[in-house]
Amino acid sequence: MSDLRIESVRIDEVIPHPNADRLDLIRIGAYTVCDQRGKHTAGDIVVFFPPDMLIPPRLAQQIGVDNYLKDAIYPGEAYKAKCRVGAIRLRGCPSFGFILKNRWATEAGLDMTERFHGVKFEPPEAAFYRKEVNAKGDPRFHTYTDIQNYRNSKYTNAIPDGTEVRITEKIHGTNSRIGIIDGEFMCGSHQTVKKALDQNDKPSTYWGPFNTIPGLKEMLEALAATKGGNHNVVAFGEIYGSKIQFMDYGVVGNNGYRLFDISYDGVYMSYDEVEHWAALYNVPLVPLLYRGPFSADIVDKFVDGPTTVIETDKVHSTFKDREGIVITPVIEQYSPALGGRMILKAVSVDYLEKRKTDSH
């Protein structure tokens, strides 16, 4: 699970908003926050509340920030209230979360989450998911990497500038694991393995890609048979459609699928290998937006914009833009900053503004 915390931060830069006389753009690492003109200066230590953080509604009222928050249900509460930190585009400029004048910390980098009783917002389960039936797991059918947010100050420099990366569109769906373990097929969500039939004896959503993408099973069987055979292979992808999330990408139902990674005996393949095997068996990949040297400018260039999964005039949902992007090196490598696989995500401010808090 990605890290999310309320923390004391040092303001890097304050510049006047180009389209609003009463606003400044406050730069904090890779985040930008809009706030009242002249209220802050570079070097100030402030408390930063990132998007998708929940704080108790009563506390929000006490510190005078409830007007900045969106409706959600804080854990332990019975009803929705102003408690979720959001993001918005103000006069054309993105604003992620909000900041408060600091009277709680004397230095930057302090975790203030407990002080403000912060809790990470977790979207409710979609209706289809509640009908799925769990099956017995296997450690070789491993879960996908937890992806940290590029804008988190701890990880902004986790991918060195100049590293050759691929930037792919992050699809708003449900994480899919499809594998062959000791010659047997397994399917599941990010955390759980699923049986082939749901509670109503209907085909599981997570086994669906076998039917919609015939080459997927053939690809897994071929990979498992290489180099002497009996290898354990897991394909990681995203299942999407109108029954999965509020973004449908033109799919009515739950049968959209895109592959983004493959692990072979527990080791992730490099991008060129994934691309090779996907092309060989006609398995669709998540859209590639960029391949080349990494830089902060590249993140800002590709994180926003219309979806490239399908032409926007074929999308049924009102929101037709990107959820965000995923950044990985073309050649798999370790990141000391992340303590594991080098991979980051960045989320679009437009998606965060439109994101729903209720299931459907």
Q: What is the pLDDT of residues 261-319, one digit of tens each?
A: 999 999 999 999 999 999 999 999 999 999 999 999 999 999 999 999 999 999 999 99
Q: How far apart are CA 131 and CA 155, in angstroms?
A: 37
| Residue ranges of E strands in 294-347 | 324-329, 334-335, 340-341, 344-347
SS3 332: coil
Question: Edge-to-edge, what's the strand order for the sheet holding 164-170?
Answer: 148-149, 344-347, 324-329, 164-170, 288-293
pLDDT at residue number 105: 79
Per-residue pLDDT of the chain (360 residues), as tens digits, is 568 999 999 999 999 999 999 999 999 999 999 999 999 999 999 999 999 999 999 999 998 999 889 999 999 998 999 999 999 999 999 999 999 988 887 899 999 999 999 999 988 888 899 999 999 999 999 999 999 999 988 898 999 999 999 999 999 999 999 999 999 999 999 999 999 999 999 999 999 999 899 999 999 999 999 999 999 999 999 999 999 999 999 999 889 999 999 999 999 999 999 999 999 999 999 999 999 999 999 999 999 999 999 999 999 999 999 999 999 999 999 999 999 999 999 999 999 998 765 544
pLDDT at residue number 360: 44
pLDDT at residue number 354: 86
Closest CA to 306 of 321, 317, 318, 289: 321
Closest CA to 29 of 151, 161, 159: 151
pLDDT at residue number 359: 45
Cα–Cα separations (whole angstroms), residue 182 to 185, 213, 221, 230, 232: 8, 22, 11, 6, 6
State which fold the 129-354 domain adopts: D-amino Acid Aminotransferase; Chain A, domain 1 (3.30.470)
- What are φ and ψ of residue 177, in 5° steps? -115, 125
pLDDT at residue number 123: 84
pLDDT at residue number 357: 57
pLDDT in tens, 196-209: 999 999 999 999 99
Closest CA to 305 of 287, 282, 281, 328: 287
What are the boundaries of each domain within the chain? 7-120, 129-354
Q: Is the pTM of this model over 0.85?
A: yes
Which residues have C-beta within 8 Å of that of residue 107, sequence separation ≥ 6?
8, 45
